[in-house]
Amino acid sequence: MTALLDTARQLGLLPEEYDAICNYLGRVPNFTELSIYAVMWSEHCSYKNSIRWLKTLPKESERMLAKAGEENAGLVDIGHGLGCAFKIESHNHPSAIEPYQGAATGVGGINRDIFTMGARPIAQLNSLRFGKLEEERTRWIIRGVVKGIGDYGNAFGVPTVGGEVFFDDSFTVNPLVNAMSVGIVEHGKTVSAIACGKGNPVFIVGSHTGKDGIHGATFASGDLTEDSAKDLPAVQVGDPFQEKLLLEASLEVIQTGAVIGMQDMGAAGIICSTSEMSAKGEAGMDIHLDRVPTRQANMKAWEILLSESQERMLIVAKRGEEHKVLEVFEKWDLNCVQIGEVTEGPNLRFFMNGTLEAEVPADSLVLGGGAPVYEREYREPDYLQKIAAYSPEDVRQPEDLLPVMGYLAGHPNLASKRWISQQYDSTIGTVNMNANAPTDAALVYVKESGQALALSVDCNSRYVFADPRKGTAIAVAEAARNIVCSGGTPLAITNCLNFGNPYNPEVYWQFVEAIQGMGEACRALDTPVTGGNVSFYNQSSFEGPVFPSPVIGMLGLVEELSRTMNLDFQQAGDLLYLLGPQSEDMGSSQYLYGYHGVKFSPCPEFNLETEIQIQKLVSALIRGQHLESAHDVSDGGLWNCLLESALVGSYGFDIQLPESFRSDAFLFGEAQSRVVVSVAPEQEDSFLKEAVRSGLPFLKLGQVTEGQILINGKSYGSIEDFRSLHEDSLENILS
């Protein structure tokens, strides 16, 4: 008994969890059964420390076709008989240890979640966070992650259409790699992750099973330490060409009508797929592990069960129609082996060469069933006292704005990410609408309906660190603002919640506050949560927890393509207006944090009602064809917004800042709910009528120039003086 308890602890199980396992089984578990519970009750699979709060998020909408948690991904009605499946997930720990395969298999896994439902992936996005760029290890991680994402996505044949990259010292040991996939499916042609019907055959399809990724879910549910490199076998190895075959075969086999249920084998492999499908269908399974095609000889039962080898699916077919399934996978030259059958009763039974290796109730393993649910202690962090002590009067105003303009133009958080994006194929599939027309959100053409999806990923980790509730609400609002500025209507979100150790009360407070802020913003903006991913334990013994990063992936819809809106200036002489509050709020800005080194300052002020009204105004202006461009003011403030809009067409700008505000704060501060628009002179009257009617604040800044930059009448050179700083700085560091 003592030996088994020690083994349970080594596998990550708590003493009370070991006791619960004994109660479920009515006996002492064997090693294989302990391993099963260890992976299925890990945070990565069970959400045991987060589900209590996740359940408070809004999930209802008339467009919802599948609620959060019902299927592998969210499913939203986009009209014309079509649904959009989308989801974002993390692959943080594997990417810290083996960046290339860690990132590549993250891309593969999230795409499988989409096409397992019967949806064809048409677009990918990502959200990446890295540490100190001066360290060679950070540069090694970046190169590996970017190449892994690019190689897998490019070979798989789905364009990478957008994303974000953020740098901060807190991510030096533990980077964040979040991947999002988006797919399209016709109504009524989805398939569920379910097992039912006594005697129905169970197939494993796709790649061979190897020893890669064993206990990967457990590995992802612990802090990174000096010994984490020894967990390299817990990192999977991907094959995008195999995944492409699996995609086509999976979509084809669904059309045969022979499939009862299907689920990909991601975290925890065979045991996860069999338990979740069985629990959902209130059935059991008999599985013969010796029938599983393996890459290595003499694999043990528990190794086969827990392997996270990539590019594999579990299919439950209709008895008597096995030949339809076999024919499809034979056509695509993929493994398709019947390894078991559905049974009556609650138990999963796993056999190896006729010997019963494990027998466990399926429902006892899964979220919503027997998996434990905890509410951890939480309290406000001590660092909030430092934030409360901040005073803008202590921040010295620069005598000359030019050095700050150059600093921000070239800062890796604000500069062009061209070095990264050029490694991704963004044009394959001919659906990316942003190749020559940049917009705040990524626009993806839906060939079946003639509409466009508007997609964005957003989170400012500094804001969330300063105020998790407000910072997360801002992340939701900015994702929506990007979609609105592109001509779209926000519909729903998915999320990837990246935090430190949940047993740390200060970290758990960040998590709880973030969930509450997300819920408030999603309810206000009518963008329900379709699902997502929780990634705890993003910290190390060296650096402590990372900045809390609840990344928001948002889906929007552009119903009329003539109403899309670019972010770039269109011609000299157009008038520039700032919509939204006029403010000198510098809190948590890149200017304050980086240029002045003020690491503790408040999150920018934010009002949800103001945000809603600004988005309504921008939508009305776009629909009325009053605008030439629209670009939201976010990271880097007004200066970075103008710079990005000007650089595309080599235009400049001549603006006048309000005398009542500090020039540096107004230009570089990151006050929220603001949008810069350009207006053709002949449209100014109609624009002003709409703006005045809204009752919202707005300010005429100036006009677009042929290329000169003037602020308060002073020349700051040409836009070309900033081009190299903005476009080449990250490449110069990394290459």
From 80, 91, 215, 626, the catalytic residue: 91
Cβ neighbours of 149 (radius 10 Å): 28
The half-sphere exposure of 592 on its side-chain side, counting CA atoms within 13 A, is: 30
Name 263's bridge partners: 314
Which residues lie closer than 8 Å to 326 by C-beta, 6 or more apart?
336
For residue 368, what are its two tokens? 């919503």
Give yes or no for a contact between 634 and 474, defined as CB atoms under 8 angstroms apart: no
- For residue 603, give the nearest of 653, 671, 663, 690 by alpha carbon: 671
Whether 208 sits among the annotated catalytic residues: the reply is no
Which residues, 6 or more positions from 542, have their beta carbon under 8 angstroms from its beta carbon?
Answer: 172, 173
DSSP code at position 604: P
532-541 residues labelled b (16+ CB within 10 A) or e (exposed): bbbbbbbbbe
- Catalytic residue check, 44: yes
Q: Which two tokens mark 303? A: 């190794």
Residue recorded with tokens 């060679």: 136
The C-alpha atoms of residue 627 and residue 618 are separated, in whole angstroms, by: 9
Whole-angstrom Cα distance, residue 617 to residue 342? 55
Q: Which of 44, 93, 288, 726 is catalytic?
A: 44
CA–CA separation, 702 and 652 (whole Å): 11
Joined tokens for residue 410: 């070239």
Name the token pair of 523: 């309810």
CA dist 30 and 88 (Å) reads 35
Q: Which pair of structure tokens corresponds to residue 43?
A: 């945070």
How far is residue 126 from each of residues 65, 247, 424, 477, measured CA to CA in Å? Answer: 24, 20, 11, 18
CB atoms under 10 Å from CB of 595, counted, come to 18
Please give the biggest Cα pair distance in the chain: 85
Cβ contacts of 686 within 8 Å, gap of 6 or more: 624, 626
How far apart are alpha carbons 460 and 596 in whole angstroms?
18
Q: In whole angstroms, how far apart are CA 181 and each of 199, 445, 494, 505?
A: 34, 15, 10, 33
> So which residues are the catalytic ones?
44, 91
